[in-house]
Amino acid sequence: MAYEQTKQFYPKEMGTKKGWCLQNCRLGFRIYTGKYASAKTAMQAGKKNGTYHAGTPPTNIAVPVYTSSTSQYGHVMVCDKGTWYSDGKKVSKPSVLGWDEMMDGIRVVQVAKTQNFLPAKGYWARYDKDQRVADLAQFMRNKFPAYTPAKALGPVYGDNLWKAIKEFQKRTGLYQDGCTGPKTYEMLKKYGFKY
């Protein structure tokens, strides 16, 4: 499923006060009043209203992420397009419990209104980054492992995916530019790609 940002995240505005993770994250989204007393209650509310998702978040959006914690209040941080922030600092990827579409009761992402696979410019090219690229890479790896290495996986349309698409185009009689535009997308659908 594709998501789009509804409330921007500003890493430099994220709070840094220790023990105030929920408030720190609110500030990063420019939310100045809170609804919940702790990260744990915010996570429980997300589970109750259906906006909480177990596992790692998509890499094209900024969302609150709940992580393992020994604190009775839980812990929340922000994953902003694959970069992790905790109490105003960049950190390594934590042990993730799940993520939420809302930050303390205010929606920060929503299901994308357009479910188009191709981006607004009409094609995917080298170094584009999006969850849809990760979906394409996974399909290519599953369907054509002989010429799609594991290094092609992920949200970046890197050199390995570009080469795999170029080989796919060669084998299916398409123009071989390595980009995924309307003609390549239509051919991929004939081989079972669904988005």
User: Residue 133: its pLDDT value, please?
Assistant: 95
Asked whether the beta carbons of 128 and 59 are under 8 A apart, the reply is no
At the top level of CATH, which class does the domain 3-111 belong to? alpha beta
CATH tag for 131-190 (out of 1.10.101, 3.40.50, 1.10.3470, 3.30.870):
1.10.101
Please state whether the predicted TM-score (pTM) of the whole model is above 0.95. Answer: no
**Residue (of 82, 77, 57, 50) closest to 66 by Cα position:** 77
In this structure, the strands spanning 3-5 and 75-80 are unpaired
Task: Mark out the alpha helices in 52-158 (DSSP H runs).
Answer: 131-143
User: Residue 119: its pLDDT value, please?
Assistant: 86
Residue 88 zone, left/alpha/beta (φ > 0; ψ -120 to 50; rest): left
Sorted by where each begins, the domain ranges of the chain are: 3-111, 131-190
Q: Identify the DSSP state of 112.
A: -
Per-residue pLDDT of the chain (195 residues; tens, 9 = 90+): 678 889 999 999 999 999 999 999 999 999 998 899 999 999 999 999 999 999 989 888 999 999 998 889 999 999 999 999 999 999 999 999 999 999 999 999 988 765 689 987 889 999 999 989 999 999 999 999 999 999 999 999 999 999 999 999 999 999 999 999 999 999 999 999 987
In this structure, the strands spanning 106-107 and 102-103 are antiparallel
Tell me if 3-111 shares its fold with 131-190. Answer: no
Distance CA 32, CA 25 (A): 10
User: Residue 175: its pLDDT value, please?
Assistant: 97
